[in-house]
Amino acid sequence: MTDLKARFRKFWSNARFRIVFWATLTGVLCGVSGVGLPVEDVIGSIRDYLRRHPSNGEIALVLQDSRTLDELGAIDVTRAEDAKVTAALFAAGAKRVFFDRGLRYDDSDNGNKQFVDVLKKHPGQVFLSAMPSSDGAGGNHASVLPSVTFRENAKVVSALALHHPFNLNVSWPYSSNSAIGVIPSLPAAIAGVEQGPDLLFQPDYSIDYRTIPTSSYIDVLRGDFEKSNVAGKDVIIAPGSIAYNDIHPLPGGQGYAPGGYFHAIAAETLKRGLPMDVGWIPPFLLVCAIVISGFGRGRVFDVYRFSGLALVLIAAPFVLNYVNIKVDIFPALAVAAVAVFRMRNLDRVEVAGETNAGSGLPSVQALRNFDAMSTKILVALKIRNYGAIIGSFAEHVEAQVAHEIVRRIRISDHDVTVYHESGMFLWLSNIRSTFDLFENLEGLHRIVQNGIQVSGMDIDLSFNCGIDSEFDRTVSSRVASAMQSAEEAVRNDELVYQHDSRRHEAQWELSLLTQLDRAIDNGEVWVAYQPKLDVKSNRIAGAEALVRWTHPERGPISPDKFIRIAEEFHRIERITRFVVNEAVRSAVNLARLGYDFSMSVNISAQLLRNPGLPGMISEILAAHGLPPEKLVLEITETDRLDRSSRTFQMLQRLVQSGLRLSIDDFGTGNATIDYLRYLPAAEVKIDKVFIQAMEANKEDYLLVQSIIEMAHSLDRIVVAEGVETGTALEILKGMGCDTIQGYYVSRPVPFPDLIDNIERKQARMNG
């Protein structure tokens, strides 16, 4: 295992290996996530455009076009007209008839009987479409079936299709689930193909839809159409007028076309043979093999190899399309592109940064590119008068000076590689003990104090050192720390200064303030929701919206930390606006799902003194259409309240606007009886300190019971936060507590998980 780790570290220290790793990972992520689907669709459309060819004419269309509706003077055709057209098609020799639309049995339509008679006359030769639900939900499930009366003498097919992102492409299922079982898709029924509903295929959109035999519905209805267009063929009757809202962009650069043409192209594709989708893995593996085989072979090799490979990746799918084979190339192209781009950048960095031009020593840039860990102490030695020394010689002597410095470093720190940048020399010391290293650097200082001789001249040197021994960070991230520590040693006139990340923590906290707005805009700041359980009904009736910040480098940042800083520098309004907006949006979404729900948001005491607070909240409520009584503002005040205070007047304004107030952290600080007397709150929230202690502590038990009784006597709702056990819930239920909140119900979760919690709770109640 140790050898394996050492070997991996050796590989990882190779920049080209890291490029191969990240390029491969990029390709895997692209393939697994499907992020490249729009690009695949665009490339596929280009191939389809270049391969454009006529239809074989075996499938015909009858379009209910705009001329049909205009001449009928109607907004839709009737079942009587459908019956007449269907009969006319069979009379002209049509093999089968497929309706690409839902047909309802309308009691007011006298043509229903005529249509049923036609179906009985041609049993099993007419196919009626099952449609998706009107709200677009349900996946591959045909929810809207033809009337039972029609189904007795007709077969049912699915008209469902999967539209790709940005409407760049459309795929088809071979079959769909429905209330009457699995039914074939319309194209699969035409082609006589039977496959499961979990499989999709992509039609050959190089078929020119304009060459598919097409007749107008009105012409067929009047008997004035070319019979040869339908004789011996499967005919699709489809809406073609813009009024039916069934016009879509057809891939392959063919413009917009009615949905019936999509079905016809898909059916013709299947009649030619089952399409084979090879997927993204084979070309991905091919590219990875080439990348891995060549990552250490030099620099120019990469561009030519991958340029030729890119041409193959573009040309091969074009040829495979002719034999109904589809292959996805975006992940493979992503691997090639990342590898080429990063290797070319590495080439430029290696050429420019591998060696210090003045001294001939390895450049510090090489350390900055060293992304691996090291258990060696990093030393930075700063020559204080380096520029003056080099400038005092007429000829170029920097290499000689650097050589003498390195020779002295290696006297006691043998065989180290010394990196050079201006007056700074860095190395990873072989001395493992910090104490021993300090002594070694003191000895080096005494040696250098004797001076060095360059070009026959004696030169006095003065230096200071900085060291970094944080082995849990990569060497590249430690370089700046060591160099900064050397500069600190110069400023403080210390021989050695050791880097300590804790000294920079306060400065980093202040930098949070400048990052906050950007973090909100780019999604690092988000809102978690902790559900509130109504004790009496045992249902989740509300939630508290809690702000969270996931920093890309530091990970989750404590809300107490960044909220404290935001309050200190008067930036809390931006955070509050963001949280209120997200909470209100979520409450509206829950209402649309049929849940009677209230949302709670914490309001800073500082913001209660901002006269613009009511307007801000009203603006957000109006924008989303949420009634104000569904929003609860949780107030924690650090100052005493009286009726003349500005804070009290602000709270009155908020209540008058229809909002509900909650006394947060009741029982601590000033949130005690004074609050119950003066604050116009509808809710009292008992602090979790008392809730979590009441099971084992009688005093806390009695205190919680007293708070509940006192709050109820003043017509306040009581919420207990910090409930973590079923025992605590039973105690609170016995005390008559209204609502609980805590880990026993749920931790704070993202909004999709909140919906899952609510639905699971509802399902258990209904079960």
pLDDT at 135: 64
Residue 193 binned pLDDT confidence (cut-offs 50, 70, 90): very high
pLDDT at 299: 45
Residue ranges of alpha helices (H) inside 466-523 are 475-492, 505-521
For 472, other C-beta atoms within 10 Å of its C-beta total 6
Residue type at position 616: M
Q: Give, for 764, the enclosing helix (H) or strand (E).
A: helix 751-766
**646-653 — which CB contacts under 8 Å span 24+ positions?**
646/609, 647/605, 647/608, 647/609, 648/678, 648/679, 650/608, 650/609, 650/611, 650/613, 650/614, 651/608, 651/679, 651/680, 652/680, 653/614
Residue 250 binned pLDDT confidence (cut-offs 50, 70, 90): very high
Q: In 3D, which of 452, 464, 443, 483 has the Cα closest to residue 389? A: 452
What is the mean predicted confidence (pLDDT) over 462-478? Answer: 88
Q: What is the dihedral of CA 229, 234, 237, 238, to 10 degrees?
A: -100
pLDDT at 300: 43
What is the mean predicted confidence (pLDDT) over 476-496? Answer: 85
pLDDT at 307: 64
Query: Distance (Å, rounded) from C-alpha 18 to C-alpha 41?
Result: 31
142, two tokens: 């045909």
Instruction: Give yes or no for a contact between 260 and 100, defined as CB atoms under 8 angstroms apart.
Output: yes
Residue 301 binned pLDDT confidence (cut-offs 50, 70, 90): very low
Query: Distance (Å, rounded) from C-alpha 280 to C-alpha 39?
Result: 13
Instruction: Kindly report, residue by residue over 707-752, the tens digit of the pLDDT.
Output: 999 899 889 999 999 998 888 999 999 999 999 999 888 888 999 9
pLDDT at 2: 52
- 10 Å CB burial of residue 487 (0-12, 13-18, 19+) is middle
Instruction: Give yes or no for a contact between 97 and 124, defined as CB atoms under 8 angstroms apart.
Output: no
Instruction: Kindly report, residue by residue over 640-654, the tens digit of the pLDDT.
Output: 555 556 778 888 899
Instruction: Kindly report, residue by residue over 207-225, the tens digit of the pLDDT.
Output: 999 999 999 999 999 999 9
488, two tokens: 């600190």
Instruction: Give yes or no for a contact between 436 and 496, defined as CB atoms under 8 angstroms apart.
Output: no
pLDDT at 138: 66
**581-584 — which CB contacts under 8 Å span 24+ positions?**
581/620, 581/623, 581/624, 582/526, 582/527, 582/545, 583/527, 583/529, 583/545, 583/631, 584/620, 584/621, 584/624, 584/626, 584/631
Residue 470 binned pLDDT confidence (cut-offs 50, 70, 90): confident
Residue ranges of alpha helices (H) inside 51-154 are 66-72, 79-91, 111-121, 148-151
Instruction: Give yes or no for a contact between 69 and 243, defined as CB atoms under 8 angstroms apart.
Output: yes
Contacts of 757 (CB under 8 A, 6+ apart): 531, 540, 746, 749
Instruction: Kindly report, residue by residue over 60-70, the tens digit of the pLDDT.
Output: 999 999 999 99
What is the mean predicted confidence (pLDDT) over 401-412? Answer: 89
Instruction: Kindly report, residue by residue over 550-590, the tens digit of the pLDDT.
Output: 877 666 777 877 887 787 767 788 899 999 999 999 999 99
Percent of the chain past pLDDT 70, that is, above it, reads 88
Q: Is the pLDDT of residue 420 over 60?
A: yes
Query: Distance (Å, rounded) from C-alpha 632 to C-alpha 612?
Result: 18
Query: Distance (Å, rounded) from C-alpha 680 to C-alpha 754?
Result: 30
Q: Which string of b and e fits 581-613 if b means at least 16 CB within 10 Å?
A: bbbbbbbbebbeeebebbbbbbbbeebbebeeb
Residue 435 binned pLDDT confidence (cut-offs 50, 70, 90): confident
Q: Is the pLDDT of residue 390 over 50?
A: yes
What is the mean predicted confidence (pLDDT) over 372-401? Answer: 84
Phi, psi of 696 (to 5 degrees): -110, -10
Query: Distance (Å, rounded) from C-alpha 13 to C-alpha 4?
Result: 14
pLDDT at 679: 77
What is the mean predicted confidence (pLDDT) over 627-633? Answer: 95
Q: In 3D, which of 458, 466, 450, 447 has the Cα closest to residue 382? A: 466
Instruction: Give yes or no for a contact between 437 and 467, defined as CB atoms under 8 angstroms apart.
Output: yes
Query: Distance (Å, rounded) from C-alpha 257 to C-alpha 264?
Result: 12
- DSSP letter at 165 equals G
Q: Write the DSSP string, 331-377.
A: HHHHHHHHHHHHHHHHHHHHHHHSB-TTT-SBBHHHHHT--SB-SSP
431, two tokens: 């001395």
275, two tokens: 């399409």
Query: Distance (Å, rounded) from C-alpha 526 to C-alpha 517?
Result: 12
Q: Is the pLDDT of residue 759 over 70?
A: yes
Q: Is the pLDDT of residue 330 over 60?
A: yes
Angle between helix 79-91 and helix 111-121 axes, rounded to 10 deg? 30
pLDDT at 754: 92
Q: In 3D, which of 663, 648, 669 has the Cα closest to residue 710? A: 663
pLDDT at 176: 95
Instruction: Give yes or no for a contact between 738 and 718, defined as CB atoms under 8 angstroms apart.
Output: yes
Q: Write the DSSP string, 417-441.
A: PPEEETTEEEEE-S---HHHHHHHH
62, two tokens: 């009858």
Q: How many CA atoms lie within 13 A of 766 on its CB side?
A: 6
Query: Distance (Å, rounded) from C-alpha 312 to C-alpha 304?
Result: 13
pLDDT at 647: 79
Instruction: Give yes or no for a contact between 207 and 49, defined as CB atoms under 8 angstroms apart.
Output: no
Instruction: Give yes or no for a contact between 60 and 214, defined as CB atoms under 8 angstroms apart.
Output: yes
Q: Is the pLDDT of residue 311 over 80?
A: no
282, two tokens: 């084979």
Q: How many CA atoms lie within 13 A of 239 on its CB side?
A: 17
Query: Distance (Å, rounded) from C-alpha 604 to C-alpha 607?
Result: 5
Instruction: Kindly report, residue by residue over 82-96, the tens digit of the pLDDT.
Output: 999 999 999 999 999
Instruction: Give yes or no for a contact between 304 and 323, defined as CB atoms under 8 angstroms apart.
Output: no
Phi, psi of 741 (to 5 degrees): -150, 135
Q: In 3D, which of 678, 652, 675, 734 has the Cα closest to residue 701? A: 734
Cα dihedral across residues 445, 450, 451, 454: positive or negative: negative
Query: Distance (Å, rounded) from C-alpha 739 to C-alpha 536?
Result: 8
pLDDT at 493: 73
Instruction: Kindly report, residue by residue over 15-62, the tens digit of the pLDDT.
Output: 677 888 888 888 899 888 888 889 888 988 999 999 999 999 999 999
Domains in the chain: ranges and CATH: 2-32+281-353 (no CATH), 53-274 (no CATH), 364-499 (3.30.70.270), 509-683 (3.20.20.450)
Q: What angle do CA 540, 541, 545 make, to 5 degrees?
A: 95
Mean pLDDT of the residues in the chain: 86
Q: Is the pLDDT of residue 448 over 90?
A: no
pLDDT at 540: 92
What is the mean predicted confidence (pLDDT) over 599-608? Answer: 90
Query: Distance (Å, rounded) from C-alpha 16 to C-alpha 709?
Result: 70
pLDDT at 227: 94
Query: Distance (Å, rounded) from C-alpha 381 to C-alpha 146?
Result: 84
Q: Is the pLDDT of residue 455 over 60?
A: yes
pLDDT at 719: 95
pLDDT at 450: 74
3-state secondary structure of 505: helix
